[in-house]
Structure 1
Amino acid sequence: MNDTPPAASPSTGAPVWLDWIGALLRPWVRIRRMPEDVRALLPDDPRPTVYVIERPGLSDTLILERACQEAGLPSPYAAADRLPIKRRRAVVAMSRRPRLFGRRPHPTRSETLSLLADVVRADPEKDVRLVPVSIFVGRAPARESGWFSVLFSENWVVVGRFRRLLALLLNGRDTVVQFAAPVSLREAVAVEADTERGVRKLQRILRVHFRRIRAAVIGPDLSHRRTLIDGVVNAAPVQQAIDAHAAREGIDRDKAAAKAREFAWEIAADQSHLVVRSASFLLTALWEKIYRGVNMHHFDKLREVVPGHEVIFVPCHRSTTDDALLPYLLYHNGLAVPHIAAGVNLNLPLIGPILRRGGAFFLRRSFSDPFYSTVFREYMSQLIARGISLMYFIEGGRSRTGRTLTPRGGLLSMTLRSFLRQPHRPVVFQPVYIGYEKVMEGESYIGELSGKPKEKESWGGLIRSLGALRRNYGSVTVNFGEPLFLKPLLDEVAPDWQQATADPEAKPTWLKGAVDTLGERILVNINRAAHVGPVNLLALTLLATPKHAMAEADLLAQIELSKALLAEVPYSERVTLTGLSPQEIIAYGENMQWIRRVAHPLGDVLTVDEKQGVMLSYFGNNVTHLYATAAWIGCCFNNNRRLARASILRLGRLVYPFVQAELFLPWSEAEFAERVQATLEFFQARGLLATVEGTDGRILERGPGQSNAAFRLRVLAHTLMPAIERYYIGLALLVKNGPHALSAGELENLSYLTAQRLSLLHEMNAPEFFDKALFRGFIQKLRERRVISADANGKLVFEAELEAVAKDARVILSREIRHGILKLTPEAQAQIGKVEDGEDGKAA
């Protein structure tokens, strides 16, 4: 990026008057090239070069001339000297200038392209390199831009000279010039027998290219909201729903149609480029005030995917700022703001209309009304058909524990069904990981996990939250994960999916399985793009000790080990890791007031206060999955000095499906076994494990219980140990009560109560330890793997082998924890039938 470009040399072959005008405009224009290294995209080439631009005009020619000089490319006037035909400049525009009076002109055939096509077809040795160049004036937001300049920012209208001049004067310092890969004129026209037909086809392809780039950069050409709503209401599925609702409710059809229109008005966004650009000014100031920096990775890979695709952004949901942060970053880096799904609870007076103009569309929490559901689904279909990118969260709400939540399939299902109606436009899901170092809602999350009801959104709550803007929340990292293309996924899970496109209202039997697979892979790819920052490493390390305190030397060594583990046994190529040294990480944690230093003559101790410890666990949970394999090995050696490799792998195969489902791990059981082996080798190289002599490497051992090696493994084990303990609680309750005694709901409630009480007795501060959703997922996984099943009365039954699995816990869990769980199970048994969902807090 050239914020302060070097002075350009005089234009070779350009008229003197053009240089003068360019010199006058130079202070008003600052060019940002995409890609930054244009020469890598357009190396030296013996073929003559012709630049293809979207719109004609002197200003675009001047901008192109300067961008080429700054990038080291031949200028349009210098390139004209090498053309086989006589032209003053090597530039072709795909549209015509609007007339002062009369209708907008239609695009016509380019005489220059036709003459060049005749030349290259006549001489097999000749060719011309066409370089498409998109130019946007006033696209990128900047702090120095004025509010009035928003009115003259880039849009879809081909404007006249005076308006373009105003746009340059007001927004010229935010000019974006995007070069595309060159096109061979010979190859483009050779596919057609007739030269003129080949030129017309080439121009159509180029216009489509420019429309895709413009849609990706400033968003699709949005018609009036009323037009979109008319399309929704008049669609065949909604018309059928109107008839059905009128018949069901016994009302006049016009009243039913009015209700459908009311639903559509309640739902629909009314995105305004003016509001979006204005909001970018405010958000720039806000992020600079509350964050130390916003870091973004892998955006270049996203940029390659966007043109020509319907993009569905699916970020993790950690904070209310997610809704504004990701769209802002997309806009700030040259992509259009997506339409964002928002809960209808955010449609507050004054705030709702602003969000709607910013691109938010509102949905109700429940889709139990089939009439409303049909209207909403049709609205989604209309957005996808128009090529409007979308953004929604599939976790159903913000994570209160910092872990990735189980996906909800509602919006995914609607997206798939909309795609089936119009499968010609490829759809891609873009997972996004958002990592914070502090969240504004931290204290409210702790309260909700303790049983307090979630506070409803209101003006009062909004005003109270403004006080949080006085604090600093560290840095934020946004990583773009591996995209998921919908067509290949459907080919994999439902090879006959194209048969469903014949019926626009089809709901094929394979749809639920496809939605479940898609949701799981999105979350897997979000986790594969995680960022490990200083706060994450401090949380993982310090919270693993009983008193959340560690000698500085031990803390430095443990942080170094955690960083080395991700570097030498990488989780994914998209995982990012802080570049700070262990010493800098500790200093950063002190500066952020997450940790406190206690001076001591024998060496300083770093500690975490109790309240901070509960909040810090949130950030440890963000990255627990990255250390799952190392933590499993640590668990195995927690209570064992020696253990056979085969035992580590055998027990790992038993527990991995449940850990995989809970943490959304990407590997198969065989791949997990390979990672275990690789991690064992890492530990051996580090001296944390060693092979026992005379066993041919079959048996491994760690150091004595008080050694540094044993301590390092115990700290790593802590990240996974709560999950193992939760699994044992569920299994112990099942085995203790026997078959035909507990339903799935009763087992979930009793497991929750047991874990909650165990946390009180053993000072377990991790709030996710007694998260009911995690017990629910564990029970569901037991059913999926047919470890348990339900009888005719809904009670759970299981085979005797389950008792052997429960006994294997002796290898992993300490005697104290096992006895504590078993001691509580008779007390929990007495609560059967007494605990309902609304009574959990009272029973606890």
Structure 2
Amino acid sequence: MDQTITLPYWLFILLALFTLLLILDRVLFPSVRWYLKRRVNRIIKEVNTRLDIEIRPFQLTKKQVLVDQLLFDEKVIEAIKDYAQEQDLPLEIAQAKAQSYANEITPTFNAYVYFRFGYWLAKKVSRLIYRVRVGVYDDDQIKKIEKGSTVVLVMNHRSNMDYVLVSFLIGDKVALSYAVGEWARIWPLQTLIKSMGAFFVRRSSRNTLYRRVLERYVNLATRAGVCQAVFLEGGLTIDGKMREPRLGFMDYMLREYHPSIDRDIVFIPIGINYDRVLEDKSLIRHLDKNAQKRSSWYVLKTALKFFYKTLTKKRKARWSRFGYAGVNFGKPLSAKHYCEQHQIDFSELESTERFEQIKQLADELMQGIEEVVPILPVVLMSEIFLAQDMQWKSELQLKASAMQRIKQLKLLGAPIDLSESAFEQVLSSALTMLVGRRFVEEKDNLYKLVKGAETNLKYYANSISHWQ
């Protein structure tokens, strides 16, 4: 009974580690989980009191529950069977494929990350780079949107900053869910993006099983009232003009929509524009089919160099370099009212006819976006320089031409918010930006377009080319 038991050091260390893990698993981890869950619930309760659209239960549902819901969806089960037959695969392999797609698409929304970190980060980054201007051109209509409606923000896509900018401006009103491209599927960015409610989309995928899983997720989220942000163009513009709308997402939302019994889907057009698009030169390079593709190392090096230079500059210097970022909200369009007005029920239409009707709706929304794309100083001056045909002009002559164009735009009903008191200073700043970027040259107080910079200025001028 009094004998001493001797244990080898390795066994003692193993038992100590095992005991520590048990304590962590049974005592510490549950306490931490309880504490974090309590904080998240407190945040949800707090933000729901000030949000225009409350966080939907669908967004708070555990990811695994949503994945299971997708996998046991009748249409997904049918798609799994068809895929297995087409590819000559065992059913279990096809099911595993569908599960991997569901895991990839489904977000893991975290209210704490979204409102305490994501919103703060979006606000800091937006204000770090740009002077942000917002316009609401039909505030009364927006306020009249029914509380239970599914709100879908439809936007033009000029820059990857669009995500950040709109998240900042909408962050105190609603928890947005974005469709994000494959560019963001890098660690740890993808974890952060998913925790903020975004879901990844393989835009170029033609895999029928993947498209079916994606369709069912978008459909479920829409029916659950989740507020979503959609770029109808399906990608960034490379020439400055708005692209033709891609109809896939709208079809996913509307193909089973019953206007008489389902909650309303309200589309809000949003126009975005910049005095300087961060990746403008990279986008313009896509116009040249012979341009050599940049390496990943070059892209990373350029991005790091850009952030270093931006962070080390004073705020006024940054603003003079990047200028304004403008966001305008247009007139909401109710899917329920649209269906009643045009006597359409999308759920009853065959595929070809449904796409024709969705195309008409998408075109109407694109027109709504065009009507509220902000007209900013650099965009305006780009138009003026392109019209001068490489002639030297004084600053006074350029500003006189700009004033004439502003009057014309106002008569056409364009969304231009440029006061007469700030007119001189704002256009001078735009001129300085263009000279600084070597798009315009200055000599003896005279200015003209630099040869070879036409494509760059056309990129900006094209954003308002519809106002002619």
Q: Report TM bin, short chain.
A: 0.7 to 0.9
Determine the structure 1 residue equivalent to 2:236: 398
Determine the structure 2 residue equivalent to 1:488: 337
The code of the aligned residue for 1:525 comes to G
Distance in 2 between residues matched to 1:297 and 1:309, nearest whole Å: 20
Distance in 2 between residues matched to 1:297 and 1:489, nearest whole Å: 22
Determine the structure 2 residue equivalent to 1:128: none
Distance in 2 between residues matched to 1:222 and 1:507, nearest whole Å: 34
Distance in 2 between residues matched to 1:154 and 1:464, nearest whole Å: 41
Determine the structure 1 residue equivalent to 2:147: 307
2:412 is the alignment partner of 1:570: yes
1:289 aligned to which of 116, 120, 128: 128
- How does 1:611-690 map onto structure 2 within 5 Å? 612-626=453-467, 628=468
**Is the Cα contact below 8 Å between 1:563 and 1:577 reproduced in 2?**
no
Determine the structure 2 residue equivalent to 1:598: 443
The alpha-carbon deviation at position 395 of structure 1 amounts to 0.9
2:162 is the alignment partner of 1:322: yes
Determine the structure 2 residue equivalent to 1:533: 376
- Over 3 Å counting, the alpha-carbon distance change for 1:446 and 1:499 in structure 2 is closer
The alpha-carbon deviation at position 366 of structure 1 amounts to 3.0
Distance in 1 between residues matched to 2:431 and 2:95, nearest whole Å: 61
The alpha-carbon deviation at position 392 of structure 1 amounts to 1.7
The alpha-carbon deviation at position 621 of structure 1 amounts to 1.1
Determine the structure 1 residue equivalent to 2:448: 607
Distance in 1 between residues matched to 2:398 and 2:186, nearest whole Å: 47
Determine the structure 2 residue equivalent to 1:497: 345
The 3-state SS of whatever aligns with 1:546 is: coil
Q: Normalised by the size of structure 1, how large is the TM-score?
A: 0.46
**Is the Cα contact below 8 Å between 1:309 and 1:425 reproduced in 2?**
yes
**Is the Cα contact below 8 Å between 2:40 and 2:112 reproduced in 1?**
no
- Over 3 Å counting, the alpha-carbon distance change for 1:610 and 1:582 in structure 2 is farther
Distance in 2 between residues matched to 1:245 and 1:451, nearest whole Å: 36
Distance in 2 between residues matched to 1:518 and 1:274, nearest whole Å: 36
- Over 3 Å counting, the alpha-carbon distance change for 1:466 and 1:420 in structure 2 is farther
The code of the aligned residue for 1:524 comes to Q
2:180 aligned to which of 342, 346, 350: 342
- Over 3 Å counting, the alpha-carbon distance change for 1:256 and 1:152 in structure 2 is closer
Determine the structure 2 residue equivalent to 1:440: 278
The 3-state SS of whatever aligns with 1:449 is: coil
Distance in 1 between residues matched to 2:256 and 2:291, nearest whole Å: 36
The code of the aligned residue for 1:380 comes to V
- How does 1:728-739 map onto structure 2 within 5 Å? none
2:360 is the alignment partner of 1:522: no
- How does 1:173-322 map onto structure 2 within 5 Å? 216-218=53-55, 220=57, 222-277=60-115, 278-298=117-137, 300-301=139-140, 302-305=142-145, 307-322=147-162
The 3-state SS of whatever aligns with 1:313 is: strand
Distance in 2 between residues matched to 1:421 and 1:571, nearest whole Å: 33
Determine the structure 1 residue equivalent to 2:397: 554
2:409 is the alignment partner of 1:409: no
Distance in 1 between residues matched to 2:182 and 2:351, nearest whole Å: 29
- How does 1:163-182 map onto structure 2 within 5 Å? none
Unaligned runs of 5+ in 1: 1-147, 158-166, 168-174, 179-213, 501-505, 629-844
- Over 3 Å counting, the alpha-carbon distance change for 1:459 and 1:385 in structure 2 is farther
Determine the structure 2 residue equivalent to 1:587: 428
Determine the structure 2 residue equivalent to 1:134: none
**Is the Cα contact below 8 Å between 2:138 and 2:330 reproduced in 1?**
no
Distance in 2 between residues matched to 1:499 and 1:365, nearest whole Å: 24
Distance in 2 between residues matched to 1:549 and 1:153, nearest whole Å: 63
Determine the structure 1 residue equivalent to 2:15: none
Aligned-residue identity in percent: 23
Determine the structure 2 residue equivalent to 1:652: none
The code of the aligned residue for 2:128 comes to K
- Over 3 Å counting, the alpha-carbon distance change for 1:549 and 1:230 in structure 2 is farther
Distance in 1 between residues matched to 2:224 and 2:293, nearest whole Å: 37
The alpha-carbon deviation at position 388 of structure 1 amounts to 0.7
- Over 3 Å counting, the alpha-carbon distance change for 1:316 and 1:253 in structure 2 is same
The alpha-carbon deviation at position 238 of structure 1 amounts to 0.9
> Cα deviation per residue 1:328-386 (whole Å; 9 max; x = unaligned)?
2100xx22232111122421232212111122211112342221111111111111122
The alpha-carbon deviation at position 432 of structure 1 amounts to 0.7
- How does 1:139-154 map onto structure 2 within 5 Å? 151=39, 154=42
- Over 3 Å counting, the alpha-carbon distance change for 1:268 and 1:437 in structure 2 is same
The structure with the larger Rg is 1
The alpha-carbon deviation at position 554 of structure 1 amounts to 2.6
Range moving further from structure 2, 414-423 or 551-560: 414-423
Determine the structure 2 residue equivalent to 1:425: 263
The 3-state SS of whatever aligns with 1:439 is: coil
2:386 is the alignment partner of 1:543: yes
- Over 3 Å counting, the alpha-carbon distance change for 1:398 and 1:335 in structure 2 is same
Distance in 2 between residues matched to 1:338 and 1:511, nearest whole Å: 27
- Higher-RCO chain (CA-CA 8 Å, sequence separation at least 6): 2
Distance in 2 between residues matched to 1:227 and 1:316, nearest whole Å: 33
The code of the aligned residue for 2:120 comes to F
- Over 3 Å counting, the alpha-carbon distance change for 1:589 and 1:468 in structure 2 is same
The alpha-carbon deviation at position 588 of structure 1 amounts to 1.5
Determine the structure 1 residue equivalent to 2:4: none
> Cα deviation per residue 1:673-726 (whole Å; 9 max; x = unaligned)?
xxxxxxxxxxxxxxxxxxxxxxxxxxxxxxxxxxxxxxxxxxxxxxxxxxxxxx
**Is the Cα contact below 8 Å between 2:153 and 2:228 reproduced in 1?**
yes
The alpha-carbon deviation at position 411 of structure 1 amounts to 1.3
**Is the Cα contact below 8 Å between 1:228 and 1:382 reproduced in 2?**
no
Distance in 2 between residues matched to 1:239 and 1:341, nearest whole Å: 24
**Is the Cα contact below 8 Å between 2:40 and 2:111 reproduced in 1?**
no
The code of the aligned residue for 1:285 comes to K
> Cα deviation per residue 1:194-251 (whole Å; 9 max; x = unaligned)?
xxxxxxxxxxxxxxxxxxxx57155555111111111111111111112222333343
The alpha-carbon deviation at position 466 of structure 1 amounts to 3.0
Distance in 2 between residues matched to 1:621 and 1:548, nearest whole Å: 21
The 3-state SS of whatever aligns with 2:53 is: helix
The alpha-carbon deviation at position 321 of structure 1 amounts to 0.7
**Is the Cα contact below 8 Å between 1:299 and 1:480 reproduced in 2?**
yes
Q: How many residues in Structure 1 have an aligned counterpart in Structure 2?
A: 414
The code of the aligned residue for 2:448 comes to T
Determine the structure 2 residue equivalent to 1:30: none
The code of the aligned residue for 2:164 comes to A
The alpha-carbon deviation at position 289 of structure 1 amounts to 1.8
The code of the aligned residue for 1:353 comes to T
> Cα deviation per residue 1:491-540 (whole Å; 9 max; x = unaligned)?
444x252662xxxxx74442111121122111100111122222122111
**Is the Cα contact below 8 Å between 1:440 and 1:468 reproduced in 2?**
no
